[in-house]
Structure 1
Amino acid sequence: MKKFTINYLVVFLAGIFALSSCGGLDKMKKAADQVKYEASPKVLELKGNTVDVSFKVSFPAKFFNKKAILEMTPVLVYNGQELPLDKGIVQGEKVEGNNKAIKYLEGGSYNWAAKPFEFKDEMRVSQVVIRPSVYIAGKEAAKLALPPVKVADGIIATQKLVKIDAKPITMEDKFVRTTSDKYESQILYVINRSDVRTSEIKKPEVVGLEKYIAATKNDPNKQLKGIDILAYASPDGPMDLNDRLSKARQKSASEFLQKELKKAKISEADKKELWSLMATPEDWEGFKALMEKSDIKDKELVLRVLSMYSDPNVREKEIKNMAKTFEEIAQKILPQLRRSRMIAKVDVVGRSDEEIMSTFKTNPSALSLEELLYAGGKLTNDLATKQAIYEKTIELFPNCFRAHNNLGCVYLWQNKLDLAQKEFEAAQALKETDQTKSNLGYVALLKGDYAKAENLFTSVARNVEVANYGLGIINITKGDYETAIKFLGNTPEFNTALAKAL
């Protein structure tokens, strides 16, 4: 009898416990609408390639069963699919566990953050729902689902509008259409004389000067711009004598050349503005230059005299005091200073734009490197033509890093990324430049290797504006819009406006 009574009591108490437990959970279910769930942000936003979201839940007083455990599972619902996020777990104050305890009489709150999740395009239209479930500790199998609560919408992915475009840097040509040329010869004179000797005017260099000037007459691409006559006397002898000698030599040289030009029917011979005449009584500069090149034994001593004294009389005296040295100077140096230099200056006009392009089609090897680079860079906007020009330039001038770089730019504009990278690397192997670093950065950017692109852009010391544009794009994709704006500045670009809007 006693045993029967004890068993009956155990069963009775267990039933009471079960009923009280279920009743407590049902109470939580009925009062579930008093629980406040929040998500931050309320509208999810893509930053970089991931989305961050955190949650907060607030419980009212006399809500939380002292022996209950509540699991709150956020779920991203999108396009017929679901992505469960990291759950939050809290427990009643009489549960032994490591979760945060919520007191029955006071209520409380709990915060947790979900691990950032990877974004997919189909997630643009989505929502986050928290699905809570509760159970008595130790009886997880009897878990009771509470009403789900929507806490956020998603996903703002405006940064996906970023325009991944390249701004390659081409390298400039050094083409100059009109170049200056000159031809120089000189007439030497006997000591203390100013007459032009027949032996002098028959020298190849003097005859060559006459032919050089005459050649401008029948060449439409050459124009005589000036003739300089620079006459000198050696720095020995009295100053007044040397002054007269240098002027007389200037006169004899200019008269000789004018006469020869008239014979050749060069009309510019009579134009006074074409002629520049100058006489130097004592040619100390020429003396110093010849001494430095000479093998005269005491030349260092003579050069020291020139550096120590500026007075020409003192210089001459000190040098003449070196008797043997002066004799050698008088034989080897001074005769070369008794002269008139005759210099013809000519402007050479290069090919016109039309002639350059025509020559490229018929005989490209006749063009200079700078003409080819000029043609590829400035005479056509057609990418196929640019490609052909730069390919021929590399064929003719394989070590031209500018041609490799510019061909790489053409390939980049054509979205031929592997070919572009090959040419940029060839250019960089020939000569490392910031332009090519930046261009390689854009290749990496277009290939989606943002880390490599960022390293290349940040290594650029010059042309930073173009590299900064690439860094601005990268920071938009990271969701770091403030940094993106710093790099983009006020450039009139879509990506600049996008970064500021974000």
Structure 2
Amino acid sequence: MKANTARNLSLVVAASLGVMACNPLNKMAKNSNDVNYSVTPDPLEMHGDSVEVTVKGSYPAKYFNKKAVVDVKPVFVSDGQEVKEFETITLVGQDAEEDGRKVNYDKGGSFTYVTKVPYKPEMMSGELKAKIVGRYKSKSQELANVKVADGTIVTPNLVEADDKPILGSDEFQRITTDVHNAQIHYLINSSYVRPSELRDEDMEKLIEMIEKKAADSNYVFKKADIQAYASPDGELSLNEDLAKDRAESAAKALKRQMRKADAEKGTKDEFYNLVGKGEDWKGFKKAMQASDIKDKDLILRVLEMYQDVEKREQEIKNLAETYTVLKDEILPELRRSQIALSIDKVGKSDEQIAQLAADSAKGLNVEELLYAATLTDELNKKLEIYKKAAKIYADDWRGHNNAGYVKLMQNDVSAAKSYFEAAQSKASNNPIVMNNLGVIARLNGDRSTAMDYYNKANGAGDEVNYNKGIVNILNGNYDAATSNFSSFNSVNKALAQILAGSADQAVRTIDDSDEKTTAKAYYLKAIAGARTNNKELVMNNLKTAISKDPAMKDRAMKDAEFIDYDLSTL
């Protein structure tokens, strides 16, 4: 009986050895622990909507059967389900006829390859396994199924979708200043204001305007600047005093008109800024150049040769006797006082503007109507005002654009887009409109078109760069994002800094940010702690983040950023 048992056992062993000899896959499966498979990065990382991994494997000598074929397929498994397959690499024994990377039987071999797949949300938690299947002739067998990485870091998904549209600003000014100009001319060596000068067209218009605006409470007389000159054909010492006298006489003449019009402010000495400019040599040269005098260039060159001003004055007198145009036209025009009267117009009050905007709005110009929208914090009221602006002043892009802005604030992306497109039809290349259309494209998932719009919006404001930074993060361009966020201390800037490898700097950015007390700010500081191996920073900030937003706990428990930390106490 024992002999028969021994004989039967021998037969079983022999049969098994025969099977293994016929199917080398069994041996390869048995020795699979001698094979090394690895993946970097570990955990996996999502960048720009994709997960890219580098897969490596090495086979020891005398492992890889000469005619065997091995398929290595990385597979991401989450909750026991295969959720994503990566590209398969095929390796073949040195005598195998199938295409693939050769592995020498006596020396062994290795492989490295890079594969990328689109990210799926299920890949945040789970593990990446290398599914190894061997093939020999018609036989197929799983050689190994080994874990090569844990989870996926999806930190770029923490980007805040706070894209920044831009309003078209109003140019409303409640107080506008108009400057009214006139001149008084004098006889030679005189500062007397002749009555005929007050009847000249420019002075008549000035006097009429004074009377009209003095009677209107919407106007406030601000100041009068008077600059007076003498012609360069008189004595220098006399001309200096003469110019001052002319400024004073012009002021007196203007004061009389102010009294008649009951413009009290204009009757005060402090209302006037008087400047005697002396002889007007520059004005003389300019008038000569503009004249038809045949020898004007020669005359000016000769006059400029005189270093002695008195000699030059005498020569001008002599020339005036020869050239009557000098005596009758050019020199008389230089003997003058120039009046610049500044009057402020006071516009409607905020209460008046708000009431008119709430009614028909037809009593408001476009600047007042756009300004009216800034007087309320209610989005619906703002929208109604901007819609009126778009209707009444249809050719002005700002009403359409700003209505779109409000619609975006109300999360009505479709309506906002329609308004922005209407604004574009009025101002096709306006950088503000380009920025806002870029925001719409980004919110609709078209990052390429969004960036095209943003590039056309350069110069519209810092908001453009901020919006570019959001696209940069989503595209995996973290250095560019950090640069574009440079004008903003925000959680998005901190996120870009973490992703670009500057975790310590990100913490400082958050601490300087207006968003530093938000749950996301604390969560990002915890990630910064994980990346700098600072357990205290991790745990303290996760606890605070969770206290502000309990949903953060579920994320943290799945977040591969914290794979090396025990979060059971949270």
- Cα 1:83–1:251 change in 2 (3 A) is closer
Structure 1: stretches of 5+ with no match in the other structure? 1-14
For the structure 1 residues 443 and 43, does the alpha-carbon distance in structure 2 shift closer, same or farther, using more than 3 Å as the test? Answer: same
1:221 equivalent among 218, 222, 226: 218
- Check whether the contact 1:408–1:423 (CA below 8 A) recurs between aligned residues: no
Per-residue CA distance 1:14-34 (angstroms, 9 max, x = gap): x99964633644333333344
Whether the aligned pair in 2 keeps the contact of 1:402 and 1:427 (CA below 8 Å) is no
* C-alpha distance 292-440 of structure 1, shift in aligned 2 (>3 A): farther
Selected match of 1:494 from 491, 495, 514: 491
Match of 1:426 in 2: 425
1:42 matched to 2:39? The reply is no
In 1, Cα distance between equivalents of 2:446 and 2:368: 37
What residue in structure 2 maps to residue 374 of structure 1? 371
Matches within 5 A, 1:145-294: 145-203=142-200, 205-215=202-212, 217-239=214-236, 242=239, 245-246=242-243, 248-268=245-265, 271-294=268-291
Q: Which residue of 2 aligns with 1:26?
A: 26
Show the 5 A alignment for 1:428-467. Answer: 428-429=427-428, 432-459=429-456, 461-462=458-459, 465-467=462-464
Cα distance in 1 for residues equivalent to 2:392 and 2:300: 48
Checking the alignment, whether the CA contact within 8 Å between 1:78 and 1:126 is kept in structure 2 is yes
Matched length: 481
Unaligned runs of 5+ in 2: 1-14, 500-570
Question: CA offset at residue 227 of structure 1?
Answer: 3.3
Letter in 2 for 1:111: F
Work out the CA distance in 1 between the residues paired with 2:29 and 2:284. 112
- Deviations 1:350-383 (CA, angstroms, capped at 9, x unpaired): 222222222333463443343334334x333333
1:454-498, Cα deviation, whole Å (9 max, x unpaired): 233345543574333223222322234344333333733232233
Compared with structure 1, are the counterparts of its residues 271 and 146 closer, same or farther at alpha carbon in structure 2 (3 Å cutoff)? same
SS of structure 2 residue aligned to 1:364: coil
Partner AA of 1:179 in structure 2: T
1:265 to partner: Cα distance: 4.6
Q: Which residue number corresponds to residue 10 of structure 2?
A: none
CA–CA separation in structure 2 for the residues paired with 1:340 and 1:86: 89
**Which residue, out of 300, 314, 335, partners 2:332?**
335
Distance 2:447 2:303 in 1: 65
Q: Is the 8 A contact 1:302 1:319 kept in 2?
A: no
Mapped to 1, the partners of 2:191 and 2:216 lie a distance apart of 34
Residue 364 (structure 1) aligned to one of 361, 364, 380: 361
SS of residue paired to 1:52: strand
Secondary structure of the structure 1 residue equivalent to 2:358: helix
- Tell me the CA shift for residue 450 of structure 1: 1.3
CA distance in 2: counterparts of 1:57 and 1:192, whole angstroms = 106
Residue 225 of structure 1 deviates from its aligned partner by: 2.6
Looking at structure 1, the residues matched to 477 and 277 of structure 2 have their Cα atoms a distance apart, in angstroms, of: 71
Q: Deviations over 1:398-434 (max 9, x none)?
A: 55455554444334434234314414523542xx454
1:119-161, Cα deviation, whole Å (9 max, x unpaired)? 222343443333333343xx22x22333433333333333233
Do the aligned partners of residues 45 and 318 (structure 1) sit closer, same or farther apart at CA in structure 2, a change above 3 Å counting?
same
Q: Choose 1 or 2 for highest CA Rg.
A: 1
Q: 1:50 to 1:271 in 2, by over 3 A?
A: same
Given that 1:100 and 1:110 are in contact with CA atoms closer than 8 Å, whether structure 2 keeps it comes out as no
Q: What is the aligned counterpart of 1:144 among 141, 146, 149? A: 141
Contact 1:390–1:407 (CA<8 Å) still a contact in 2? Answer: yes
Residue 220 of structure 2: SS of its match in structure 1?
A: strand
Kindly indicate whether residue 385 of structure 2 is the aligned counterpart of residue 386 of structure 1. Answer: no
8 Å Cα contact 1:261-1:269 kept in structure 2: yes
Q: TM-score scaled to structure 1, two decimals?
A: 0.79
Q: For 2:441 and 2:383, how far apart are their aligned partners in 1?
A: 21
CA contact (8 A) 1:92 1:102 kept: yes
CA distance in 1, matches of 2:191, 2:16: 140
Alignment identity in percent? 37
Partner of 1:57: 57
- Partners of 1:67 and 1:189 lie apart in 2 by 117
Secondary structure in structure 2 of the residue aligned to 1:146: strand
Q: 1:22 to 1:128 in 2, by over 3 A?
A: farther
SS of corresponding position for 2:75: strand
Hey, what's the Cα distance between the residues in 2 that align with 1:244 and 1:147? 109
Q: Match for residue 3 of structure 1?
A: none
Q: What aligned pairs does 1:300-339 form with structure 2 within 5 A after superposition?
A: 300-302=297-299, 312-322=309-319, 326-339=323-336
Q: Determine whether 1:87 maps to 2:88.
A: yes
Kept in 1: contact 2:386–2:403 (CA 8 A): yes
Give the TM-score, by structure 2 length.
Answer: 0.71
Q: Which moved more, 1:111-120 or 1:252-261?
A: 252-261
Measure, in 2, the Cα distance between the counterparts of 1:144 and 1:206: 108
Q: C-alpha separation between the residues in 2 aligned to 1:491 and 1:434?
A: 20
Match of 1:409 in 2: 405
Tell me how large the CA RMSD over aligned residues is: 3.8
* Secondary structure in structure 2 of the residue aligned to 1:152: strand
Q: Deviations over 1:265-324 (max 9, x none)?
A: 544355332233344553334444544555555555555556665754444444455467
Name which of structure 1's ranges 441-450 and 244-253 shifts more when overlaid on structure 2. 244-253
Q: Using CA pairs under 8 Å that are at least 6 residues apart, name the structure with larger relative contact order, 1 or 2.
A: 1
Rate the CA distance shift 1:364–1:296 in 2: closer, same or farther, 3 A.
Answer: farther
Q: For residues 459 and 117 of structure 1, what CA distance do their matches in structure 2 show?
A: 32
**Partner amino acid for 1:344?**
L
The change in CA–CA distance for 1:314 and 1:120 in structure 2 (over 3 A counts) is same
Distance 1:154-1:206 versus aligned 2 partners, 3 A rule: same
* Structure 2 residue matching 1:115: 3-state secondary structure: strand
Hey, what's the Cα distance between the residues in 2 that align with 1:323 and 1:485?
Answer: 73
State the shift of 1:69 in Å: 2.9
Structure 2 CA distance, aligned partners of 1:364 and 1:102? 83
User: 461, 474, 477: which one pairs with 2:471?
Assistant: 474
